[in-house]
Amino acid sequence: MKAIICTQCGATIDDVSESSVIIHCNYCGARIMLDRISKPTTVLAEIPDLYKEEPTTIPTAKLVAIICASVIAIPLLVGIFLIGKPKAPPTTPRAAYSPPAIPVPTPPSWKFPTEPAKPPPVVNYQPRVSWDGPNDMESFDDPEVDISSVADLTSEQIKKTVFKNRTVKLRVVINTEGEIDIVETISGHPLLVEAATRSAKRSIFQSRTKPTTRILTYTFRLLED
């Protein structure tokens, strides 16, 4: 065993066997060929490939720091991009298209002809009024009988019902100025009593010193048509 000097880097290579022909330098990686007289002769020198990329390993702590920084930086960059991006003007939604309404013709309404209203029957009569006591009536209003409520009757039926008893008697109270304050019915058909009462309230007597009670008699005389 012997030691030789590397012809490339000058480092001492120990424990070189005498039978070795080619040895490797552990410092620079050169290969040295030895001759038979054990003199180091550089026959072939292997220059390390400086352009060969050696695999590098990143420490775990550094890798974790890079990942954390990426997680924080990406949302920030996205937010900055969105804030700086100009907003598009709001678009007005278009109104839904609705076709024009087509007028639907309305069918004609058929109405059956209605019977004309039946006119009230006509009854010709002439009223006459009388009373007990002195002849002191100054104004007399003819009573008008309203027979529209019995329009379903004929003229002959009205003569046989309403005007069957053609006499109406009323008890009235005349005040000091000759006006009638109170009217009470004694007898007569309701339609004739109504007409006689309206007439009595519009009648005027002569003035007096105290109120007076009288009996007024209305007689409805039928006239021939």
Contact between residue 53 and residue 42 where contact means Cβ atoms under 8 Å apart: no
Q: Can you give the pLDDT at residue 112?
A: 66
Quick one: pLDDT band at residue 84, thresholds 50, 70, 90?
low
pLDDT single digits (tens) 148-160: 888 888 999 999 9
- Tell me: pLDDT of 55 over 70: no
pLDDT single digits (tens) 16-43: 777 777 777 877 877 777 765 445 444 4
- Tell me: pLDDT of 113 over 50: yes
Half-sphere exposure of 74 (CA within 13 A, CB side): 5
Q: Can you give the pLDDT at residue 41?
A: 47
Q: Can you give the pLDDT at residue 88?
A: 63
- Tell me: pLDDT of 104 over 90: no
| Paired strand residues for 127 | 220
- Tell me: pLDDT of 46 over 90: no
Q: What are the two backbone dihedrals, phi and then psi, of residue 169, each rounded to the nearest 5 degrees?
A: -115, 135
Residue 55 CB partners (closer than 8 Å, separation 6+): none
Q: How far apart are CA 221 and CA 125, in angstroms?
A: 5
Summarize the confidence of residues 87-99 as an average pLDDT.
70
Half-sphere exposure of 151 (CA within 13 A, CB side): 7
Summarize the confidence of residues 99-124 as an average pLDDT.
76
Q: What's the chain's average pLDDT? A: 79
Lookup result for tokens 């069957």: 164
